Structure 1
């Protein structure tokens, strides 16, 4: 038991990937470099890719001993892949980032440090992308969606679409799961009585592959998700803490 506790990492970096054979290997190396000197593991969750993503990652396991590769048997979406990684993670602190390489892994340690410095009530530090390297149409759609969501949910988040986040595994496991939950983590953390904060992170051009989302597809999913989260907030009764007497 003592050996297992010593070997357990402090940080688990979870990366969902789908058809990212071109980006995933270099991203794994970047993550290993960014977290060098810390106690960490890297979990790539392959969401039933149709290309060589799984094989490319498996080939890196000798080079990166902290790397673990999980594989969905059926494609289930980004949120499910993130959840699969978190359930399998051994670290109490989770860092997530997108598998397309647009998030800069070098920003991850700063989010972890901010989380550690924030005290027990701080459950999540979210990234907010600066100088976004997306099309103008995507940036406008994101700005509109974030504005509506922030006004209705009062979650204080200006960029919930940023995949780079650091949060406490224990806090995430208390949240109700649904598809696309990764876009509503700030609101759901606040619902449970935790604090959340944000800090700027870099954003990069996509070098390989293509986006798995369209503006119309994201809009249609967001409408039902938003109504669901509003309902969850309305049904929440927070005791403000629990004391054992």
Structure 2
């Protein structure tokens, strides 16, 4: 089968969620608007996650995986998904399933006219502390990037693969994906998507790394913006 769309699922110690991920993504494949495959990226899990995704991939023909030798962080896992995907479009969803795979169809409906379509979580089902820290972090980041995105941390995105593969990723840059598409003179848009509470597993981010990390990463982004190489070929032979 010639796939058009790869859904990257980065994960670290998500054994409690993975069978539900299999069920929900299998159901999505039945209604997907493009021929779709799933790519798990195991970020050096220390629980039974890797064995579970191997079993899933054995019984699900459209599911595949790669695994890291050791934990490298979310940005590295997303970059690996971009590197290994072989389709025109690449999506991304967290293994905690706080967003709905069915909403990929909402994003795919817009991708023809854009280079990145990102979800913005409606009526978020997180704690007050998490919601407020996320709002503050988004405000700080937006003041640096001017990307006009309200929820860059939303774990539901669709990107044109040629743009995704040109992003020079570093740790923390997953928060700046829309801004990095703008650096390539790409077009971005946000679309409201559903949001659910986490029902299994543990969140990997807390107040400190949701505020301090993104603030420091803004300076890395400014350096990247100043040094970014962007060219267009006129002719070649």
If the length of structure 1 is used for normalisation, what is the TM-score? 0.90
Using the alignment, how far apart are the partners of 1:100 and 1:90 within structure 2? Answer: 25
Using the alignment, how far apart are the partners of 1:238 and 1:44 within structure 2? Answer: 31
Say yes or no: does 1:92 pair with 2:84.
no
- Residue 22 of structure 1 corresponds to 16
Instruction: Note the alpha carbon deviations across 1:43-94, whole angstroms, 9 max, x for none.
Output: 0111111111111122222432100021111000111111112211121100
Match of residue 123, structure 1, among 115, 118, 128: 115
- Residue 33 of structure 1 corresponds to 27
Using the alignment, how far apart are the partners of 1:232 and 1:83 within structure 2? Answer: 17
Using the alignment, how far apart are the partners of 2:70 and 2:22 within structure 1? Answer: 23
Instruction: Note the alpha carbon deviations across 1:186-208, whole angstroms, 9 max, x for none.
Output: 11110111010110011111111
- Residue 43 of structure 1 corresponds to 39
Q: What SS does the aligned partner of 2:129 have?
A: helix
Which aligned pairs between 1:50-61 and structure 2 lie closer than 5 A? 50-61=46-57
Which aligned pairs between 1:70-89 and structure 2 lie closer than 5 A? 70-89=66-85
Using the alignment, how far apart are the partners of 1:145 and 1:225 within structure 2? Answer: 11
- Residue 145 of structure 2 corresponds to 153
With over 3 angstroms needed to count, the CA separation of the structure-2 counterparts of 1:226 and 1:99, relative to structure 1, is: same
Say yes or no: does 1:107 pair with 2:98.
no
Aligned pairs, number:
234
Using the alignment, how far apart are the partners of 1:236 and 1:63 within structure 2? Answer: 43
Using the alignment, how far apart are the partners of 2:229 and 2:180 within structure 1? Answer: 13
Aligned-pair distance for 1:134?
0.5
- Residue 3 of structure 1 corresponds to none
Using the alignment, how far apart are the partners of 1:107 and 1:198 within structure 2? Answer: 12
For structure 1, which segment, 159-168 or 63-72, has the greater mean C-alpha deviation from structure 2 after superposition? 63-72
Check the 8 A contact 1:155/1:190 in 2, yes or no.
Answer: yes
Structure 1 spans left out of the alignment, 5+ residues: 1-6
Structure 2 spans left out of the alignment, 5+ residues: none
- Residue 178 of structure 2 corresponds to 186
Check the 8 A contact 2:140/2:215 in 1, yes or no.
Answer: no
Q: What SS does the aligned partner of 2:53 have?
A: helix
